[in-house]
Structure 1
Amino acid sequence: MTPRVTVLQLDTYFPRIAGDVGSEQTYARPPQIIRIGGASVGRIVTNRPQDIDIKPFEEALAHAEGDIIVTSCGFLSYWQDHLAALTDRPFISSALTALDDLHRIHSPDALRILTFNQDALTAAHLGKHTAYAGCIIGLPPAHHLRHVIDQNLSALDEALASSEITKLLCETQTEAHGHILLECTNLPPYRAAIKAATGLPVTDILTCIETICAGAIAPQFS
């Protein structure tokens, strides 16, 4: 049977386009999406992840029905071990969990971590992989996608978002770079464009899900 995914989603209303972790079109089987009331971007995207009110996420786990459970914001990586211990199913707080494997292949000089807000993503989110803090690059505040998420807007220009993201990565790419890790779960819709523009392999929350629970992601996004 096709595996089902449970998404613990932040309390947001911006568009969840195909490929986004919160879009039903992203999955091979309709996901269970549990919206965490009060968990706004402003409260979760913080450089003090230890201060996040994690209780609503703990309570949501009790209602998860999926074969694998994920969150819709990589900034919850700080709580990976804590939340994973509360369920008997695979749990992924963030694509940053892929660092457990990527660090064996790519040195900090070779890896790029693309995040929503560079100022908020700190070594505290990287667990034992703090050496990779210098790899982090963020979307500038003026970028369309960041503005849409920041302001919880109802309209998203996918072409503009894709253009700005690929331009940012291409302009800052060096010969040393060998892999891109997309921390933000709103970035996977642009994975194909990023790979085409940079020529680099890309890891994101969807590839993490598919690695653990094969067949969960729709073929065009796996």
Structure 2
Amino acid sequence: MAKGGRAVYGEAIGILVLDTSFPRIPGDVANATTFDFPVRYHVIDAATPEKIVSEADRARALLPAFIEGARLLEKQGVRAITTTCGFLTVMQKEIAAAVSVPVVTSSLFLIPLLRSMLDSERSIGVLTAHSGKLSPEHLIAAGVQPNWAVHVRGLEESPAFSRAIFGKGDDCIEMNVDQVEAEVVSECRKLVDDVPGIGCIVFECTNLQPYAPAVQARIGLPIFGIYHLVNLLQSGIVCPRFSGYM
């Protein structure tokens, strides 16, 4: 017996989206074609990258809007919730407590798992939108301990990326995708050159997944991001069916 009660069905993953204007190309978490299953989006008005990335306390001022958005997504039928900005670790506990479905606000939550997967001599690289703004508070909120070998590099000095993500008006309407890819590859290359022994890289920024193949081709390491968490959530809340021969 099928049960109703809602107007729309089939979207198991809900995604809280920052209020942005830059292009969301395939691979970006806010481009629905990135996933092999339908997702439901909810934009948090006034939650601009500038406000969320600037300081943890400033981002927390928007917590009521994120809680309201998470509750709306749950009411609309999603079974798990994530976001489009890794800096939202500082809201993880409150958003998770406000709904009854699983919530993971950032790819940074992958770091404790990856640390267990790697040899103790290997470290983890993190590529972030702004290294000067990704604070110990953000990392600790994701379960990352201060004494862990986690090395952060940012894209704040990368002109094409910064212009698109942090620009205003016409500056963020267009994005030179090839140049952004070159900047992302370059920063990852510098990171592994400067810090020998890195075992993998985590993309904090949810806009970076489109460039993962190019990065991996250059440095040969595993690359993880919010894309992997969304697929993990989907496979857990909508268990796949299997058939075939033994």
If the length of structure 1 is used for normalisation, what is the TM-score? 0.88
Q: Deviations over 1:144-169 (max 9, x none)?
A: 11221010511112111111111221
- Aligned partner of 2:192 in structure 1 is 173
Structure 1 residue aligned with 2:231: 210
Q: Which has the higher contact order (CA 8 A, sep 6+)?
A: 1
Q: Does the Cα contact within 8 Å between 2:153 and 2:187 map onto a contact in 1?
A: no
Report the alpha carbon displacement of residue 52 of structure 1 after superposing the two structures with TM: 2.0
Match of residue 97 from structure 2: 85
Q: 1:152-197: per-residue Cα shift (whole Å, max 9, x none)?
A: 5111121111111112211331431110000000011111111111
Q: Tell me the distance in 2 between the aligned counterparts of 1:26 and 1:78.
A: 26
Q: More helix per residue: 1 or 2?
A: 2
Secondary structure, counterpart of 1:160 in structure 2: helix
3-state SS of paired residue (2:26): coil
CA drift at 1:46 = 2.5
- Gap runs ≥5 in structure 2: 1-8, 238-246
Would the alpha carbon gap of residues 48 and 3 (structure 1) be closer, same or farther in structure 2, given more than 3 Å must change?
closer
Aligned equivalents of 2:136, 2:121: Cα separation in 1: 13
Structure-to-structure mapping, 1:11-160, within 5 angstroms: 11-49=19-57, 52-53=60-61, 54-64=63-73, 65-106=77-118, 110-127=123-140, 128-129=143-144, 130-132=146-148, 135-152=151-168, 153-160=172-179
Q: Is the 8 A contact 2:125 2:191 kept in 1?
A: no
The Cα of 1:33 is off from its aligned counterpart by 1.2
Q: Which residue of 2 aligns with 1:163?
A: 182
Corresponding residue for 1:219? none
Letter in 2 for 1:81: K
How much does 1:26 deviate? 1.0
Q: Which amino acid aligns with 1:38?
A: A
**Which one has a bigger Cα radius of gyration?**
2
CA distance, structure 2, for counterparts of residue 15 and residue 45 of structure 1: 18
In 1, are the aligned partners of 2:204 and 2:225 still within 8 Å (CA)? yes
RMSD: 2.2
User: Could you tell me whether the CA contact under 8 Å between 1:122 and 1:133 is conserved in 2?
Assistant: no
Unaligned runs of 5+ in 1: 217-222
Q: Secondary structure at the match of 2:228?
A: helix
Instruction: Give the drift of 1:114.
Output: 0.5
The structure-2 alpha-carbon separation of the partners of 1:82 and 1:134, relative to structure 1 and needing over 3 Å to count, comes to same
Q: Percent identity?
A: 27
Aligned mates of 2:16, 2:59 — CA distance in 1: 18
Q: So what's the TM-score if we normalise by structure 2?
A: 0.80
Check conservation: 2:123, 2:150, Cα contact below 8 A.
no
